[in-house]
Amino acid sequence: MTFAHNFFKERSGQSLIEVLVGLAIGGVLIGASTFALLATLRTTSHVQNATTGQELNTALMNEVRGIAGARWEEFEGLPRGAAYHYMVTSTAGVLSLIAGDRAEMRDGILYHSGFFLNNVYRVQGNIVASTTPGATLDRALQEVTVITVWSKPGVASTSLTNTDYLVRAQNEVFRQND
């Protein structure tokens, strides 16, 4: 046999270069899968926080609708615009409006929820900006924007807003005359 044939026949296992290439490929695969796993966990956490924010927005909007249906006059004297935040409180089972945002801790995250009001203006039945020529104030309609803001340490704050319109309706459900 020739020297080359004997040399390769007596060798067993992997050469150092083959081991290094295998380790490099394995390292790349492990790094890529770790990155994908972290991205998935981050997305899941964001979705959970957004779901909680939406639950808080929905609950607050329902409370605001309840007050509007029972006591529309509570909204009439309040300043309008995003600079004026309000929250709903409950005293002896009666909901009322006060200035500020409500803070609530859920799953280690602090959420701040509040709402603000805007007047609604119309031209020929269509909702328009207050600066639109010929716009008139619709006193039976209010734009309500509910906002929830949350943040984690070291991460920029995130917010979620929902806007709806409240219509002034007859407050008396039943009236009986004897």
176 falls within a domain: no
The pLDDT value recorded for residue 176 is 62
173 falls within a domain: no
What confidence tens digit (pLDDT) does each residue in 90-119 have? 888 888 889 999 999 888 889 999 999 999
Residue 32, domain extent: 3-167
Structurally, the chain folds into a number of domains equal to 1
174 falls within a domain: no
123 falls within a domain: yes
94 falls within a domain: yes
The pLDDT value recorded for residue 113 is 95
- This prediction has a pTM of 0.70
How many Cα atoms occupy the beta-carbon half-sphere of 69 within 13 Å? 7
pLDDT band with cut points at 50, 70 and 90 for residue 29: confident
- Interval 132-148 mean pLDDT: 89
177 falls within a domain: no
Kindly provide the b/e burial profile for residues 13-50, where b requires at least 16 CB atoms within 10 angstroms of the residue's own CB: eeeeeeeeeeeeeeeeeeeeeeeeeeeeeeeeeeeebe
